C-alpha cells in the first residue's frame, strides 16, 4: 500500500451543503480476545455525505472492517454514536436494527455471502421477504435488480453455478433491491480476479454516478480506492488522513483498456 502524496490535512472533511447520510461520532470498539483487550477503533469520527462515493483504506488491523460492520449495523460500538439519516441507531434494539439494515442499508461482502442451494432470484428476493413484500411484486423487483447488474439471464442459477464475479453481482443486486440510501461494500473485489473486479467496480460506480446512491467501500487496493470521490485512511482505529480524489478512475474506461490488452 503506497502512501499518496496528494493528501489534504484532516479537518477538510464535511459535507458542506450536502446532507449527512451516515455519521459516526467518537466511535470506539474494543474486543476481548483470549482475555486480551483489542482496541479496533479508538474514538473515530466519520461523516458520509449524500450521494458521495467514499473509500476507506488502511492496513490490515487498522479497524476498517470493524468500522464497516458498525456503520452497517451488523455490530455495535463499545462507545460513541452512530446515526443513519439523522436517526441515532446506537441505542436501538436488535429487531429495530434489523429493520434499518433491511430498508436503508445494502451490504456487499468480500465473500459474497449468498445462500447456498438457493437461486440467484431467491437470494435477491431475500431482503424483500423480510420487509414483507409479497409474491409477484417481490420477484418483479428482484428480477429488475438482477437485470441492472447484467444477470437477467441467470435468474435461476444457483451460486455454485456462477463465477465469483457473477456471485458478487448477485450480492450487489441483493443490496440494491430494497432501494437503500447507502450501499456498503466490504472489500468487494477482494475475492475476484482483475477482470471481474473491474466489472463489480463499474457497477458500483454506476450506482453512484447514475443513480445517486451513496457508496462506501473498504479496500486495501489503491486502484480500487481511486474509483471513489473521497478516500479516508485509517490506522490503529483512527482516521489519519483524508483525500479528495482529483482524478477519479472511471471503471468503464479502465475495463475497456484492459480488454484491449493494454496494461494499466
Partner 1 sequence: MNLKESFRIALRALNANKVRSLLTMLGVIIGVAAVILLVAIGTGVQDEVTGSIEGLGSNLIFAFPGNVEQGGGGGGGPGGSIQKQFSLDDAEMLQRRLGPDDKVVPVIQAAAIAKVGNREWRTTMAAGNEYSGEVFSADYASGRGYYRSEVSASSRVVIIGASVQKELFPNKDPLGEYMDVNGQRFRVIGTLVEQGGSLTGDQDNQIYLPITTAQRLLGTRDISIIIVKAADATQIDLIQQRIKRALKPRFGEEFSVFTQQETLGILSQLLGTLTVMLAGIAGISLLVGGIGIMNIMLVSVSERTREIGIRKAVGAKTYDIMSQFVIEAIVLSVAGGVIGITIGWLGSEALKVVVPTQVTPWAVALAFLFSAGVGVFFGVYPAYRASRLDPIEALRYE
Binding site for partner 1 (CB under 8 A): 69, 72, 74-75, 94-95, 98-99, 101-103, 107, 109, 113-118, 126-127, 129-132, 174, 178
Query: Residue 131 Cβ, how far from partner 1 at the closest point, in Å?
Result: 6
Instruction: Report the distance separating Cα 253 and Cα 212, nearest Å.
Output: 20
CA proximity to 221, closest of 5, 59, 74, 15:
59
Contact 22, 216 (CB under 8 A): yes
* DSSP state, residue 160: G
- Least distance to partner 1 from the beta carbon of 264, Å? 33
Place of cell 450521494: 51
Which of residues 124 and 231 has its CB atom nearest to partner 1 in the complex?
Answer: 124
> Is the CB of 123 or the CB of 208 nearer to partner 1?
123
- Residue 229, number of CB atoms within 10 A of its CB: 18
Q: Supply the minimum distance, in Å, between the C-beta of residue 108 and partner 1.
A: 11
Return the number of other C-beta atoms located less than 10 Å from residue 257's C-beta: 13
Judged by CB, which is closer to partner 1: 14, or 132?
Answer: 132
Separation of alpha carbons 44 and 57, rounded Å: 14
Residue 70 vs 249, nearer CB to partner 1: 70
Provide, rounded to whole angstroms, the least separation between the CB of residue 119 and partner 1.
Answer: 10
Amino acid at each position: 500500500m503506497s502512501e499518496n502524496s496528494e493528501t489534504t490535512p484532516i479537518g477538510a472533511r464535511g459535507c458542506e451543503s450536502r446532507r449527512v447520510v451516515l455519521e459516526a461520532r467518537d466511535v470506539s470498539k474494543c474486543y476481548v480476545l483470549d482475555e486480551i483487550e483489542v482496541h479496533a477503533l479508538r474514538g473515530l469520527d466519520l461523516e458520509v455525505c449524500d450521494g458521495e462515493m467514499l473509500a476507506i483504506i488502511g492496513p490490515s488491523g487498522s479497524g476498517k472492517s470493524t468500522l464497516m460492520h458498525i456503520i452497517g449495523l451488523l455490530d455495535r460500538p463499545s462507545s460513541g454514536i452512530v446515526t443513519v439519516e439523522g436517526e441515532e441507531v446506537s441505542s436501538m434494539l436488535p429487531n429495530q436494527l434489523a429493520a434499518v439494515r433491511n430498508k436503508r442499508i445494502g451490504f456487499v461482502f468480500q465473500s459474497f455471502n449468498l445462500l447456498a442451494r438457493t437461486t440467484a432470484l431467491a437470494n435477491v428476493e431475500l431482503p424483500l421477504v423480510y420487509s414483507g413484500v409479497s409474491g409477484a411484486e417481490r420477484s418483479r423487483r428482484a428480477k429488475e435488480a438482477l437485470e441492472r447488474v447484467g444477470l437477467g439471464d441467470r435468474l435461476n442459477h444457483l451460486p455454485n453455478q456462477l463465477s465469483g464475479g457473477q456471485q458478487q453481482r448477485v450480492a450487489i443486486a441483493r443490496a440494491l433491491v430494497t432501494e437503500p440510501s447507502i450501499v456498503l461494500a466490504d472489500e468487494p473485489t477482494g475475492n475476484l480476479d482483475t477482470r471481474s473486479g473491474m466489472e463489480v467496480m463499474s457497477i458500483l460506480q454506476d450506482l453512484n454516478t447514475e443513480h445517486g446512491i451513496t457508496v462506501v467501500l473498504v479496500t486495501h487496493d489503491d486502484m480500487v480506492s481511486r474509483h471513489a470521490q473521497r478516500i479516508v485512511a485509517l490506522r490503529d482505529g483512527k482516521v489519519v488522513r483524508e483525500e479528495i480524489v482529483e482524478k477519479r478512475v472511471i471503471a468503464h474506461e479502465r475495463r475497456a483498456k484492459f480488454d484491449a490488452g493494454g496494461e494499466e
